[in-house]
Every structure is written in C-alpha cells, then in structure tokens.
Chains A and B, each alone.
Chain A
Amino acid sequence: MKETKPDVIVIGGGIVGNSSAYYLAKRGLSVLVLEGSDFIGNGGSSRNGGGVRQSGRDPRELPLVMWGIQNIWPTLNSELGVDVEYYQKGNLRLGKTAQHLKILQNLTDKAVACGLDVRMIDRDEVRKINPYLSDEVIGASWCPTDGHANPLTTTLGYYKAARALGVHFITGEKVVELKKVKGKIHQVITENTTYTADCVLLAAGYESRAIAKTIGINIPVRKLKIECLVTEIQPRMFEQMLGTAEADFYGHQSKHGSFVFGGSTGLEPYETDNGTPISSSIGAPCICRGIMKYFPALSRAKIVRTWAGWVDECADKVAIIDKIDEVPGLFVSCGFSGHGFGIGPAAGYNMAELIATGESPVDLTPLRYNRFKAKI
C-alpha cells in the first residue's frame, strides 16, 4: 500500500485515539489512525455508562478530568458538529449502609482537597434532588458539576470532525508490531502492511499491552468485562448521573428517554468468551434487581437491549498518559480502567499538546507509565 508518511500514527480509533487525532489535526499535523476492529469506537468508547464525572475519581486523574469539564465539554457540540447530549446536572453517588457512607466520605475528602465542589448529603437532600430513589438509600455524595453524555455520538463525532480535518482513518487494520530504527520509533506493522512515522500514539485500550510488548515496554493493563442494559423510552424522570459507593451500579436517563444502567455480577473475571464480550444470562437480571432496589418505579420499564464490553483495567486503576522514554517518538494513552469516557476528550487534547509542543496544559506526571512499583 502506498502511504505518504504522516506526522503521527494513532493506534486505536476510540474516544482517546479519535480525540487525540482531532486535536493534532487542528494543530496542523497530518495523522493516520489505525483501528484494529472493523468499527470506529468499538471498545470501551461505545460500551460505557456515559458518565462525565469528577467525583469518585482518584486524585491523580482528577485535575485532568476537571480541566476537561471546564474547557472542553461545555462547547463540544459546536466543536464537533454533533449532539453529544451533554447534561451537566450533577452526580449522586449513593450509599445504603454506614460502611458505604464511610467510603463516600473518604472519596469526598480527597476530591475536596483537589478543589472539587463535592459534598456529603443526607437522606432528605438526596430525595430533594432525586425523588424516585428507594428508602434504602441513606445518603450520598453530591457533585453538581458532574454529568453525563452520549458515548456513541461523542466518539463518532470526534471521528467525523477529525476526518473532516483530513485525518486518515483505516479500520480492520490490526497492529501486530512496533519497530525502532536507529533507536527511535519508526515502523507500525499491521497484519497487512507496514506504515512508517516518527511519532506513534498507542491508544488501543487493553490491546495496548500486547502491542507495547513488541517493543519491550510493559503496560500493566488487562481486560475486564462489564455489562449494561438499555430500557425503552421512559417519561423524563431525572437528569443526574448515578453511581454507588461500591461502584457496582451506575447509569442515567439519556436525552432520548431511555435509561442506560450498568452493573456487575462479581463473576465477570471467571466467565468464558469466544473473543467478543458477551452478555451473560445472569448479567442483565442482576442489574435489573440492582435497579429495582434503588428505583422501584422502574420495575415495569422494559429492557430493549443488553450489551457487554471490556474495559482496559490498569494495575492501579488510573490511566497511563505519557511519552515513553525508552522509545523516542512513542506515546501511550490507555488503561483508563472503565472511567475513560468522561476524561477522554481532555486526555486527547492534552496528548495532542504533549506531542505537538512537548508540554500539556495539565500536569500528567501522576499518570506516568513507569510509576508502577512493588507494594513492599
């Protein structure tokens, strides 16, 4: 295949790869995006609960997501020319036991230390914000600047906008190896062909590990299955994003009117699959029972669809966004650990700045690739 050498090759056409490509192209760089699957945004980018949330996050990634919520999300519709269905109506992280409230208090204290407007609220205040919650909920953390958006139109919106800026996308082009020439990144080898570039961004989710391994870099991520379900259109009930203290249940009502809820059975790591994430027979019923405990009013809502996806779980559950010292020209942005959608656009912008100028608006030092140490 004849290919003029682009300034940057991005491996992975998800929210992180697409947004990075978009902002790189906006800076005037030529970009080629290689997506291994047949579809743009086919990994966690299309398979998540749609949270655009700061509360409940690790303090290391909090500055980046706060930056994105202040600088990118409010104007993303006009930026991309699609409706990303962004609602900034707050996030309730719900607790049902004293132990839950302790977890929430701890998360809240950490976030407040980072300058986030989040606080603990009691049973009555929770109900003022969301009157549909069951009596089991005894308190919550409340972050009014959190929200949710549509992961599908956001990811494909970045693709559409990047493509309009001249970014070259190829799907079904699975990368199998990276190669250095004279000590620097030079070749990206796929199942079919070899591409060359002096700068490569690896944003392939959980697949990043196998690709990075071919050039001697260990990225400690693995895949972990999640399951979600979608209801038919319901009357408008509430606009907040919802989560729980144990992070076992999350969801929101979309602009469309359907509810999207995700949850876990706890048995995901022990299931078998045939190479695609599969909804298990126990997954959706388990999520339904979870939903009905929190929202009895939804017990007659009909489920129209269930789906599953893999998140790229990092060893310490926080993303890796960095340049790789051992391989000049190689950058990595992966391991978002199931909370990458809301932070994705900010990660893309900051990565594009890091590649183009050597510096990013947000300090990415806490997200370095070489931070992993033995625990003792």
Chain B
Amino acid sequence: MTAGAALDRLAAGEVGAVIAELDIGRAWLVDPVSGREGAGELVVRDGMIEAITWLEGDEAAGVDPGGIVVAPGFVDLHAHLREPGDEDAETIATGLAAAAHGGFTTVCAMPDTTPALDEPGVLARVRAAALASGSPIELLAHGAVTVGRAGEQLAALGELADAGVVGFTDDDAPIAMAAILRNALAYAGALGLPIVDHAEDRALTAGAEAHDGYVATVLGLRGWPAAAEESAVARDLAVLADVVRDVPGARLHLTHLSTAGALELVRRAKAAGLPVTCDVTPHHVALTDAWLAGSRSWAWDAGADPWTDGSAVAAPYDPGLRVNPPLRPAADAAACLAALVDGTADAVATDHAPHTSVDTDVEFGAAAPGISGLETALGLLLAAVDAGRLPLARVVAALTAGPGAILGGRSRRRSFGFVEGAPADLVVFDRSDRWTVTPEALASKGARSPLIGRELPGRVLLTVADGRLAFEDA
C-alpha cells in the first residue's frame, strides 16, 4: 500500500498512542547508519519496526527521492525549551510538539533555564514536565558547566552525569575563562561526556547586533566580527589539545559554528586527530546577512549586493533575524554547507530559541536574539537539496546518525538507523509537497521566525517516537 494510504489508517490516532499497525509501502527510505537509500517498504507493529524491505528492479520503478521519504526520527542537539522560567515563550509541552512537527524524535534541552540546569533537581523538573506533556519525544538535557552558568565555578558535573545529562554547556554564554574550560574538559572527559562550547569572545561582541561587514555598515548596525568566533574556537582547540594529553577521553563539541574560519580550524583539528565535533544551524546554511537589508534569497542564490541586485523584497531590519551568532555573508553560509557535505560539521542542530512578542516586536537593537527553528529546519535543508547543493543522504545523516554519535549511548535509542525489532523512531515526509510558514501552522509558542510568510519545500506527514504517535499531518 502507498504511504499516503497507510497514513490514512492512523487518522484517529492520539499523540502518545502506540502505533498498532503502520504499513509504509513504496516510499524512499534513507538509512544513514547502513548508508543505504532507495525504494522500500517499512512495517511497524505494536510500536516496533517489524520489517524493512528494499525494493529492486521493476518493483522499485516509480519510486524516487522526490516523493514520500522515510528517515529515522531526527535528533536535535541544541534546543532552548525555556521551561522552567520563561514559559511565556515556550513550555516543554509546546516545545516537544514543535519538535514532533519538525520530524524530531530526540531533543536535547539547553540548561539556560531559570533556575539554570546546574543540579539534578532542575533536571528532575524538566523530566517531569516532559512526562506530563504526554509526548513520546525523547527529551535529553545538557547540564551547565558552571554554577548558574556564571562562568566562575564548576557545577556539580558528577551528580549531573549520574542523573543522565548528555553533556555540559553554558550556552548561550561562552565558557569565557580558559582555566574553567580546561578543568571542565578534563573532568567531563573522565565522566565520558563532552563539553559543548558556544564559541564567542564577548570582548569583541559587546553591543554587537549584526555580522561585521558590508550590510551592517550600510544599515548602521553595530558589527559582530567573525574573529569573535574564530578566536574563541582557536582558543578552545588549543586547550583541548592540551587536555587530551592527560585525559584521552576529553571531548569538545562546538555548537552553531557560523564562519568559514572557524569551520576550517575544526577541519584541521579533526585531521590532526583532536576529539572535536561541531554542528551548524539550518539558518546559518540557508540565510545570509543580506536578509537584514530585505533580501529573501537563499544563501546559495545570493547576489552580490542587496542594494543593487534586486533581491531586497522585504522591509529591512526584521527583528526576527537577530540571532547569535549573527547571520553571515554568503561565503560563510557556503562554508557551513560545505562542512555538511564533507563531514566537518557532524550535525545540524536547530538552536531553537523562541521568544515572546514583547521581546521581538521591537526595534532591531532591542530584539532578543533567536530563531524558532525546530519546525523549519527540514524545509531549509530540503531547499538546499532541491537546489542541488546538498545530497539528501547527508541531510538525513546530519539530522540523525551525526548527532546520534555525539550522544554516545546516552539516548534510549540503540541505533539511529532502521533496525528490525527496535522501537520505531521515524519521520515520514513528502518532498513533492510544500507548506507556508504561518504563526498558526507553528506549534512552537514563541512562534518567531523570519520565515513566516515563506513557503518551504517538504511537508512532514508523520512522526513516530519510541513506537508511539508524535505528530500526524492533518
């Protein structure tokens, strides 16, 4: 039976309900673990993947990657779910609903809550909220590196590790003191967990609003130099190189890298064997700082000058474009894309950062930085695939096996591919369909996105997490 017909059988399903039977026939399957993709069929029974069948020859005719695609459920290493402390912007319940809508079945929450997630009690609150939401999405969490994320004193890393965090970070603050970073890498390395750093030298970004370049100069916005990210990454790598001599298990993950310079440093560090991984966001791949001037071209289609190339179709200074790190010029976006292609970037992470309109319906300089990215991540990446800039298999890998490897066994999921007999974690999406991003269409509460009004390729039809229904397209 075709995927469409199989999905119809679920019409009456409730979120959280175990999938009794799901027959996906004649769809394009992508398995990032085995590396195999092609026409296939997949059967789920009582929440478990019962059978995966790859179709060959005549049977495979008429099935192509431009139609219905089935992938393992996506993994987001970096999402701000705002609860506890800022529930007006997002709650864990609405955040997980947004994740499911975006095809994510595993989400890692960031510890910049109020109170910060720097001791197991807060983690317990977060888990309780996830349970109460009834969502089957797997919610993991990072612990803070320092107490209160204040950057001065190590948090209870051991207790947090025992409680089950998947790593440590002070995001959205950098680990400013090199000595703290060094100690954290060593300590966490012995616990088998990575330090995740938001690489930013704040001395260079005080008051900064937009990437320090041509667009910011003309728009009169305070510049955010690429050097602020590059120098922080260089420092982090140097400290890591030092630490691994004593603690071979130390691991560093650099999140939301946005500059060509920083990605090149990671590329060389990996070639030299350093245990570093990194992720890029969908918005740093697809958008550029020209959007601040009113351009709405994808990064790979960007012209040379939004004031003369005709790409400025929207009003400038959209506060929804303010983000940390800032949107960069097309060359940096191209570097993020290239990093995904060659594997320098191990994963795509959304850095989902919702805000209420109080913080975003303001002048650009006062806008809270952040893009609600869980629901638009797939669409942005598929736009790159449609443009021939990124293979579909790489997108799936960057959203599943890539981040899965970084989670290193801390997820309930034993595999990030398709495994017969394992609970079903999968996403079914239709590449031949498109959807328009509107506040109503978004499940995220602080539905702030510069993509509102925009049509994106690919529509998520079904998300199954841990064998249970997470999202079904109406």
Specify whether A and B are partners: no
